[in-house]
Chains A and B, each alone.
Chain A
Amino acid sequence: QLQLQESGPGLVKPSETLALTCTVSGGSISSSGYYWGWVRQSPGKGLEWIGSIYYSGTTYYNPSLKSRVTISVDASKNQFSLRLTSVTAADTAVYFCARRDSAIVTWGQGTLVTVSS
């Protein structure tokens, strides 16, 4: 059974870089046909797609975040990562990693990242 687990700092200072990793177990990140990505949810708000990376390495980003976001894959570790630069309080959210087949079938449990000095 495929499982995803987010990890990374729970507190990031304003203007710094948020960096999260998603570890994939129960399946290979190199399997064809899947998109690996990130979705966030600000406290009390709805879901916002951040971006996705295809198994081939092609990336897709939310235009509203594109200038600050990088998603990458480390196949040797069966992990993928999110980097979000120049964070502000508005980036405080629960960050979910996810695998998309057509719709998003598999989600991590989510990790809260707070941006505060």
Chain B
Amino acid sequence: EIVMTQSPATLSVSPGERVTLSCRASQSVSVSLGWYQQKPGQAPRLLIYGASTRATGVPARFSGSGSGTYFTLTITSLQSEDFAVYYCQQYHNWPLTFGGGTKVEI
């Protein structure tokens, strides 16, 4: 099983700031990596797939990068609606596995 580790667990930021979230895989997942945003009481929403491709309707301030075992999600100029929990997930191998999440808070 591929273990996904996200850091930090919590990120305290202000609107307008640039933030970078990290995700590390215990073995290579190539670019089979997705990023999700989840707000309280809602289902997760896919932001990025293929490590760097924005999903439909995702604003350009979200960008993903990385390959192999290290990935980042960057949000430029954080908006109020971006405060949420972010999860990475690998789909390179079964079982699918998620990181523990990074909470982006004010």
The chain A residues found within 8 Å of chain B, CB to CB, are 39, 46-49, 52, 60-63, 96, 100-105, 107-110
Contacts and interface: CB of A to CB of B under 8 A. Distances in A.
B50 A102 contact: yes
Question: Sorted from nearest, which 10 A-B pairs have the closest CB atoms?
Answer: A103-B34, A103-B49, A107-B43, A49-B96, A47-B98, A60-B94, A62-B95, A46-B101, A46-B100, A105-B46
B79 to A, nearest CB: 22
Contacts, number: 58
A68 B55 CA distance: 34
Interface of B: 1, 32, 34, 36, 38, 42-46, 49-50, 55, 87, 89, 91, 94-101
20 contacts: A47-B38, A47-B87, A47-B89, A49-B95, A49-B96, A60-B94, A61-B95, A62-B95, A101-B49, A102-B32, A102-B91, A103-B34, A103-B46, A103-B49, A103-B91, A104-B36, A104-B46, A105-B46, A107-B43, A109-B43
Nearest to B87: A47
A53 to B, nearest CB: 12
B66 to A, nearest CB: 14
Given A102-B34, A104-B89, A105-B49, 11 more contacts: A46-B99, A47-B98, A49-B96, A60-B95, A96-B43, A101-B49, A103-B46, A107-B43, A107-B44, A107-B45, A109-B43
Contacts of B50: 102-103
A61 B50 CA distance: 22
Given A100-B91, A103-B34, A104-B34, A46 B98 contact: yes
Contacts of A108: 43
